Amino acid sequence: MSELDLTIRELAERLDGTLEGPGEARIRGVAPLELAGESDVTFVADARHAEALAETRAAGAIVGEGVGAVGGLPLIRVGDVNLAVIEALGMMGGDEDLPPSGVHPSAIVDDAAELGDGAAVGAGAVVAAGARIGAGAAVCARAVVGADVEIGEGTILLDGTIVLRRCRIGRRCRIGPAAVIGGSGYGYHFDGRAHRRFPHVGTVEIGDDVDIGAGSCVDRGKFGVTRIGEGTKIDNLVQVAHNVSIGRACILAAQVGIAGSAVLKDGVMLGGQVGVRDHITLGAGARAAACACIAQDLPDGAAVAGMPAADAVAYLRGARQLLKLPEMNRQLRQLDKRISALESATDH
């Protein structure tokens, strides 16, 4: 990652922020309050953390509307602090080392493949016949693009990614290291002697602006399509089984597992290690807390937790009661002893 090398005033202008205080100090990096040095800009999103600004060594701070002035510290006031930090970090070159445009000498690109303007194919990568790589896309080191695959403009396949035959990935997507798109789904039939594997003849279609994290797998359909809608963000080590349909702008945290033919409508949010059974539908905007096990359809806007998943408020209320069971048990034993003593005294 490169340095920023801007004055605070120049950074404020590029962030469309308002500078409050002197703007001559040079900024070379972005860092949180506790790590910022004298050449860094730091950031505070709301007034809850504003007091810590007085202790920072940073040269300046990106702040929201609710944060007041702190001594002589220069402030860049913006409407959305997180968005400003994203833009500032992007000015430092991002967090990925991408290959330059063109084909590395060690890469294997079939003569029948098509590369758009400015596309890059890194060291040891393989691009098979009939594949089409969009303009400005990057196929990083040791990535594999199978036959007749389509990769949209500006999409990045990071190191070791595998996209198998006939899959389609939209524009501006980011597929993490060692992710596998289009592997055979998990389907078997026991014929009385052995488990016979179903061939999976479908494919995968991924919309624009989708991120898929390292080590995640999106299986091709048994028939038809496994689909991921535009703007969806998928974390590391997520399993999307055959013929799953995921809508737009969904969020799937690490180690989520979605069984075959499940449907996630737009805006679904699943915490880490959530499991979704096959052939069910999660309504638009449904949310599940980490480690929930969802075994039935959810309506639009539902919020669930637990195993099996239930209404989140009811589940958490029940969980709090479980914590009280040892004390309740102690009280019951005391009451039982008192009742036994009273009964014994009555008998005499």
Counting residues of the chain whose pLDDT is more than 70, the rounded percentage is 98
pLDDT digits (tens, 9 = 90+) for 54-98: 888 999 999 988 787 777 899 999 999 999 999 999 888 766 789
Asked whether the beta carbons of 42 and 36 are under 8 A apart, the reply is: yes
pLDDT of amino acid 122: 97
Q: Is the dihedral of CA 313, 314, 315, 319 positive or negative?
A: positive
Active site positions, annotated: 242
pLDDT band for position 106 (50/70/90)? very high
Amino acid identity for residue 347 in this structure: D
Query: What one-letter code names the amino acid at 34?
Result: E
Q: Which CATH superfamily is domain 6-91 in?
A: MurE/MurF, N-terminal domain (3.40.1390.10)
The architecture (CATH level 2) of 102-312 comes to 3 Solenoid (2.160)
pLDDT digits (tens, 9 = 90+) for 273-306: 999 999 999 999 999 999 999 999 999 999 999 8
Q: What global pTM score does this model have?
A: 0.84
Q: Phi and psi dihedrals of 275, rounded to 5?
A: -115, 135
Q: What is the pLDDT of residue 334?
A: 87
pLDDT in tens, 40-54: 999 988 777 777 788
Amino acid identity of residue 160, one-letter, is G
H or E element in which residue 242 lies: none
Q: Is the pLDDT reported for residue 2 higher than 70?
A: no
Number of other residues whose CB lies within 10 A of the CB of residue 4: 22
Answer yes or no: is pLDDT of 158 > 60: yes
Confidence at residue 156, expressed as pLDDT on a 0 to 100 scale: 97
In sequence order, what are the beta bridge partners of 35?
none
Closest residue by Cα to residue 271 from 283, 244, 289: 289
Distance, in Å, from the CA atom of 75 to the CA atom of 33, rounded to the nearest integer, reads 13
Q: For residue 310, how many other CB atoms are within 10 A of its CB?
A: 14
- Distance between CA atoms of residues 202 and 294, nearest Å: 26
The residue type of 234 is I
What is the C-alpha separation between 18 and 23, in angstroms, rounded? 11
- pLDDT exceeding 90 applies to what percent of the chain? 76
- Whether the pLDDT of residue 346 is over 80: the answer is no
pLDDT the model gives residue 309: 84
* DSSP helix/strand/coil, 347: helix
Q: What is the pLDDT of residues 136-150, one digit of tens each?
A: 999 999 999 999 999
Distances (CA, A) of 129 to 119, 173, 200: 16, 22, 21
Q: Which tokens belong to 236?
A: 């590391």
Tokens for 148, please give them.
Answer: 């007749």
Q: What is the pLDDT of residues 159-189, one digit of tens each?
A: 999 999 999 999 999 999 999 999 999 999 9
Look at residue 108 in the predicted model and tell me its pLDDT: 98
For all residues of the chain together, what is the average pLDDT?
A: 92
